[in-house]
Amino acid sequence: GQQVMQIPQYQHVQEGEDFTTYCNSSTTLSNIQWYKQRPGGHPVFLIQLVKSGEVKKQKRLTFQFGEAKKNSSLHITATQTTDVGTYFCAGRWSGTYKYIFGTGTRLKVLA
């Protein structure tokens, strides 16, 4: 079935270091979304990528969608303790309106 793999599963970084999480699909996606879930909270929408090769920035966060629309990445520059949480990608395929979530990357930032 359709699935989205996400790596790494966990990442511990020192405050101020950069962080990247990657999502991969074996088949071409229609679009991909990114979410952040704080411990004990619910997923909060961050961004949606639709176009091949698309790059979007939100302050210290940079989101990329691969040329083949099979992979995506989220890069955080100079992490802060407020970045702690689990980052999920969610992919959608053509012909369906549902999203399948990736396995998530749990980020811990050490002060």
Partner 1 sequence: GAVVSQHPSRVICKSGTSVKIECRSLDFQATTMFWYRQFPKQSLMLMATSNEGSKATYEQGVEKDKFLINHASLTLSTLTVTSAHPEDSSFYICSARDQVEEYRYTDTQYFGPGTRLTVL
Name the site residues for partner 1 (rule: CB under 8 A): 1, 31, 33, 35, 41-45, 48, 50, 88, 90, 92, 97-104, 106
In terms of CB distance, is 63 or 88 closer to partner 1? 88
Sheet hosting strand 61-65, strand order edge to edge: 4-7, 19-25, 71-76, 61-65, 55-58
| C-alpha span between 75 and 64 (Å, rounded) | 9
In whole angstroms, the minimum distance from the beta carbon of 16 to partner 1 comes to: 26
In whole angstroms, the minimum distance from the beta carbon of 50 to partner 1 comes to: 7
In sequence order, what DSSP letters do the residues of 5-63 get, joined into one string?
EEE-SEEEEETT--EEEEEEESS--SEEEEEEE-TTS--EEEEEE-STT-EEEETTEEE
Alpha helices in 51-109 (DSSP H): none
In terms of CB distance, is 89 or 109 closer to partner 1? 89
In whole angstroms, the minimum distance from the beta carbon of 83 to partner 1 comes to: 18
In terms of CB distance, is 65 or 88 closer to partner 1? 88
In terms of CB distance, is 12 or 18 closer to partner 1? 12
In whole angstroms, the minimum distance from the beta carbon of 21 to partner 1 comes to: 13
